[in-house]
Structure formats: C-alpha cells, structure tokens
Amino acid sequence: MAIPEIKALLFDVFGTVVDWRTSVKEYILARSPESIKTSVDWNEFTQEWRDGYFKFVSDNSNDDAASVFNSFLSVDQQYRQALDVLVEKYGIEGVWTEEQKDDIATSWHYLKGWDDTVEGLTLLKSKFIIGTLSNGNMRLLVDMAKYAELPWDVVFSSELFKIYKPSPRVYLGATEYLQLKPENVLMVAAHMYDLEAAKENGLYTAYVVRRGEDIGRTASPEEVDYFVSDFVELYKQLTAE
C-alpha cells in the first residue's frame, strides 16, 4: 500500500543506481589496453578498490570526529590515493603513467546504470522529486548523471555536509534542503546499513535488490517499507491504488 506522505525519493548511487563493478573494469581495459596483458584479476582489483572506499567513509562518518570538517577528503581524492596503493600491491607500477592513473581514477564518474535505471527513475520523477543522496562528490555525481542520462531533479552529496553517510547530518541535511520533514522522504538503497541509518532519522526506506551488493547481509522485507527488485517495481508499488 502506498504511503501518501512521500513527496521525494533520495537514492544511494553506487550499486543502487549504477553497476560500478562492470563499468570500472570496462573503463580500465578500454582506456589502458596494456592492462589486458597483465595477470591482474580486474574484478578482484575493482572490488578491493571499492572496499577501500567503504573503510574510508566508515572512518569519516562519525559526528564526534571534530577534525572531519576541516580535513574533509573527497571521494575523488580517496579513490586516487587508493589507486596508488593498489598499483603497488598488484605490482603494476610500470603499466600506467601518472596521467593514465589520473584518468583511470575518474572511471567512477562514468558508470552505467542498471537495465531498469533510466526507465524507473523517469517514471518515479513523474510523481515525485527524485535526487541522489550519495557519498560521491558533487562533480562525480554530475558527470555520472550526464554520462548515464540519470534524470535527477537534485543532486545531494555528502560533500555538502563535510561528513559521510551514515552520519545523521547527511540524511537530515538533505531533507532540510528539500524543505520537507524526514517522514516525507523515501530513501532508496541496495545496502541495509544506509537504510537503517535513514530509518533511524525518520525517513521511509526502500530496499532494491542488486547483483553483488550487500554480500553477506540478507535483507528481508520486514526490515523496510518497500522491498523491490528494481525501480519500475518501486514505481508500481508507490503508485498502486
């Protein structure tokens, strides 16, 4: 049954809206053909790159960390620094120049949506305000929206709040910008940690099942307000009479 109070939907992006695993691997191989000649497992490489991001944002999501605001590091900066570490770990220092590494670090700006993404978002946009609520930085999210043709009404990034999800400041800050109460907003994500934090701050929640996300964490429909396989199904549930 639809919840009539919902006026806006905010979306986690990486994994929820876009398929980062396939996109990053394809970008590396397309922009650096010499990478194909290495023995690197690029699926493993990409996953480890992403895992480093998760640790980074987890370490920088604590509101009690007084130094976070003044020492805020963007996701772009983190991905670039982490790339140097991975290059050394995988023993491929001679494969890429510094310019190539700079370019490869921007692969996260050019991620492809899931098959249902654009159709589903377009349907949802016809009835609700839709926007990102992502730990990705602003320029990354804007580039991605243009590349993947994501029809956002608004782009919210943790960069605006100088702290990362799951900090309450991110969820509540976005609702304040929208001039809506938290109970007027639905958070959509493929990660339960994100939805648990949103729920704690008064937002409704929708879990979308995505391949490869939330590994080791079994989500159940009882934990969220909506449990769907894709964005088109979410639209149908939200607009069902």
Question: pLDDT tens digits, residue range 182-203?
Answer: 999 999 999 999 999 999 999 9
pLDDT of 58: 80
- Does 133 score more than 50 pLDDT? yes
The tokens describing 32, both together, are: 């650096």
pLDDT of 189: 97
Lowest mean pLDDT among 68-82, 127-141, 214-228: 68-82
Q: What is the dihedral of CA 227, 174, 169, 215, to 10 degrees?
A: 30
Mean pLDDT for all residues in the chain:
92
| 90 CB-contact burial (10 Å; exposed 0-12 / middle 13-18 / buried 19+) | middle
- Does 206 score more than 90 pLDDT? yes
Lowest mean pLDDT among 15-19, 62-66, 119-123: 62-66
Q: What percent of the chain has pLDDT over 90?
A: 80
pLDDT classification of 66: cutoffs 50, 70, 90: very low
The tokens describing 18, both together, are: 């876009």
pLDDT of 120: 98
- Does residue 234 contact residue 208 with C-beta atoms inside 8 Å? yes
- Does residue 210 contact residue 190 with C-beta atoms inside 8 Å? yes
pLDDT classification of 70: cutoffs 50, 70, 90: low
Smallest Cα–Cα separation from 131: which of 87, 164, 175, 91?
175
Strands, DSSP E only, in 21-175?
A: 129-134, 154-157
Phi-psi region of 212 (alpha: psi -120 to 50; beta: other; left: phi over 0): left
Look at residue 196 and give its three-state secondary structure: helix
- Does residue 161 contact residue 173 with C-beta atoms inside 8 Å? yes
157-173 average pLDDT score: 94
Q: How many residues does the chain have?
A: 241
pLDDT of 63: 65
- Does 207 score more than 60 pLDDT? yes
pTM as predicted: 0.93
pLDDT of 199: 97
pLDDT classification of 22: cutoffs 50, 70, 90: very high
- Does residue 69 contact residue 173 with C-beta atoms inside 8 Å? no
pLDDT classification of 122: cutoffs 50, 70, 90: very high
82 vs 48: CA distance, rounded Å: 10
Helix, strand, coil distribution of the chain in percent, nearest 5 = 50, 10, 40
191 vs 214: CA distance, rounded Å: 6
Contacts of 94 (CB under 8 A, 6+ apart): none
Helix (H) or strand (E) holding 198: helix 192-200
202 vs 57: CA distance, rounded Å: 22
41-68 average pLDDT score: 81
- Does 67 score more than 50 pLDDT? no
DSSP letter (8 states) at residue 113: B
* Alpha-carbon distances of 179 from 54, 145, 173, 196, rounded to whole Å: 30, 23, 10, 22
